[in-house]
Chains A and B, each alone.
Chain A
């Protein structure tokens, strides 16, 4: 789990999705893990390949996506 002032983010135990709760608008987002991988393969995040990403822990994956401003979409 990762938190910011605005977002609360988990990766589900079966790695099927990341789930995001926005503390400002109280919306919940479910982002399929495959969708993130597709985004990586499409080059949206250039700093890491999808293979490298899959090998990371949940915390590392969420942090990597933070660094790439991936979660800004849900703010």
Chain B
């Protein structure tokens, strides 16, 4: 059993973690503990039956008493634990507004990248995190309902398929680490990248949301930026919220406030360098 502290949340991970413990230690330095600790969420790795173990080994993740994911081969455990950690937060934490997006911060100003899968948000956010920005989250914006500020979590970015090779050259500093690649998950090949040290993370503060960028990555498209109406931005951000309909009025009020103060852009791009320059201007 280990206890994993992501800054915002603590997870107790039980079961046979021997195959992933080394990687977890590298992805979450100074954040794992083998002693019993009170945890926000419980994730148990369970073996399937003995016969199946002999014929075709599989494990399931029992998360807070639920099994939301299909059984997996033990070699695919690392990304599954990461997805389970995401699931815990999105399913249970309704004290914060949770929006499906990545969050990059510079100069105390946060930029949200809400986007559908394949838009390049994880690639971009990992790139930014490895190039002078702070990656507050690769998966969801955790927004304080009183302040409207986005709060950081100490979690790695998740990279898929060709994004892994795109990002690998930027993993250079001691505080960076890229995990081994897990091949053949239902999302393709997956690797995780840590973009900062625990010391740097511990100094991060909640940040005001300065902008929201709705990304459209296409190798064949020209770089285009459009400012969109706040009404469209609000509608889009609501559809990306995990728990808007659970929180209700407080979520409505804080989102209206955020949308009113933020720059909202739609961006189609083919080169990360183009977008890096654009967003640099948004946080001056």
Contact = CB atoms under 8 A, between A and B. Distances in A.
Interface of A: 8, 10, 12-14, 16-17, 19, 21, 23, 26, 28, 30, 32
B248 A12 contact: no
Nearest to A13: B260
A10 B256 contact: yes
Interface of B: 229-232, 234-235, 238, 245, 248-249, 252-253, 256, 259-261
Contact of A30 (B234, B245, B249, B260): B234
Given A17-B230, A30-B234, A32-B231, A12 B260 contact: yes
B249 A23 contact: yes
Given A26-B245, A28-B238, A12 B252 contact: no
20 contacts: A12-B229, A12-B231, A12-B234, A13-B259, A13-B260, A16-B229, A16-B230, A16-B232, A17-B231, A17-B234, A19-B234, A19-B256, A21-B252, A21-B253, A23-B248, A26-B248, A28-B238, A28-B252, A30-B231, A32-B231
A12 B249 contact: no
Contacts of B248: 21, 23, 26
9 A-B pairs with least C-beta separation: A17-B231, A16-B229, A13-B260, A21-B252, A16-B231, A12-B230, A14-B230, A26-B248, A10-B256
Contacts of A10: 256
Given A12-B230, A12-B260, 10 more contacts: A8-B249, A8-B253, A12-B256, A13-B260, A16-B229, A16-B231, A19-B234, A19-B256, A21-B252, A23-B249
Contact of B231 (A8, A19, A23, A26): A19
Contacts of B238: 28
B206 to A, nearest CB: 22
B231 A21 contact: no
A21 to B, nearest CB: 4
A19 B249 CA distance: 12
B229 A14 contact: yes
Contacts of B229: 12, 14, 16-17
Contacts of A21: 248-249, 252-253
Contacts of B252: 8, 19, 21, 28
A10 B257 CA distance: 10
Contacts of A32: 231
Nearest to B244: A28
Nearest to B235: A30
Contacts of B230: 12-14, 16-17
A57 to B, nearest CB: 15
A13 B229 CA distance: 10
Contact of B259 (A12, A23, A26): A12
Contacts of A30: 231, 234-235
Contacts of B235: 30
A16 B264 CA distance: 13
Contacts of B256: 10, 12, 19
B275 to A, nearest CB: 23
